[in-house]
């Protein structure tokens, strides 16, 4: 065993003055380190269990229903609107010019529309038509126009055939105009199709939002009621 250098107290406990008993210092011991216990997911004893989302009414499936209403209304409105516009829009495959005699075929009692297409510098003023004796021309009750091939087309006359077969018409104007004979526009159906195209998606989205808001308010109210019944208080 090695000894301390001269003039130093011996190893071990500190040296006590003469006449005092030697004091023993206890050895410090440390408890063994233990792992952390997992946190419990249950409330402490004496507290009621929390309200689970599945216990709250109305069901959250109502949110999916609200979204479904908006989607179905949007898709149905777009499809019905486009179909209505496509099936009732004016249709003609060929054109002719004013001051030119046009021959066309109609059955007895069948009607057709005479359209005049203009650009910004053209005018409809002074357009007159001379039909054959087996057809009748009348002015439309309401103005109707649409754009096609860079021109603004207007419904200027309605043609009604008194007999079946080939018919002729000659139209004159101050300036040469592009004319066409096609289907008579159903303005009521076209207006309704346009309203459906724009209105149905907007209405469906609004209804979906209203349903979602009502469900959210009711779920919040019922959750608070369940919490009060269980004695819970949440900020």
DSSP, collapsed to helix, strand or coil, labels residue 199 as helix
DSSP class per residue in 102-165: EEEEE-TT-EEEEEEEE-TT---TT-EEEE-TTEEEE--SS--EEEETTEEEEEEEEEEESSSE
100 half-sphere exposure, CB direction, 13 A CA radius: 13
**Position 128 pLDDT exceeds 60:** yes
pLDDT digits (tens, 9 = 90+) for 73-102: 999 999 999 988 888 777 777 788 888 889
Q: How far is CA 96 from the centre of its chain?
A: 43
pLDDT digits (tens, 9 = 90+) for 18-70: 555 555 555 555 555 555 555 555 555 556 677 787 888 888 899 999 999 99
Lowest pLDDT segment from 59-63, 121-125, 127-131:
121-125
* pTM over cut 0.85: no
Cα dihedral 13, 18, 21, 26 in deg (nearest 10): -20
């Amino acid at each position: 065993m090695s000894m301390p250098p001269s003039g130093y107290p011996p190893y071990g406990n500190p040296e006590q003055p003469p006449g005092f008993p030697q004091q023993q210092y206890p050895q410090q011991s440390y408890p063994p380190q233990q792992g952390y216990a997992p946190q419990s997911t249950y409330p402490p004893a004496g507290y009621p269990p929390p309200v689970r989302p599945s216990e709250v009414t109305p069901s959250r499936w109502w949110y999916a229903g609200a979204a479904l209403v908006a989607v179905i209304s949007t898709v149905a409105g777009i499809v019905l609107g486009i179909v209505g516009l496509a099936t009732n829009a004016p249709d003609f495959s060929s054109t002719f010019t004013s001051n030119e005699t046009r021959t066309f075929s109609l059955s007895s009692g069948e009607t057709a529309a005479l359209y005049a297409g203009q650009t910004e510098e053209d005018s409809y003023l002074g357009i007159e038509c001379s039909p054959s004796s087996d057809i009748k021309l009348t002015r439309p009750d309401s103005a109707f126009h649409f754009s096609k091939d860079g021109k603004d087309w207007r419904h200027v006359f309605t043609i009604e055939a008194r007999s079946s077969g080939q018919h002729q018409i000659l139209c004159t104007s101050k300036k040469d105009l592009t004319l066409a004979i096609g289907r008579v526009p159903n303005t009521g159906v076209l207006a309704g199709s346009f309203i459906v195209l724009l209105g149905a998606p907007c209405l469906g989205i609004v209804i979906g939002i209203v349903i979602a808001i009502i469900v959210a308010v009711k779920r919040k109210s019922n959750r608070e009621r369940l919490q009060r019944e269980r004695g819970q208080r949440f900020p």
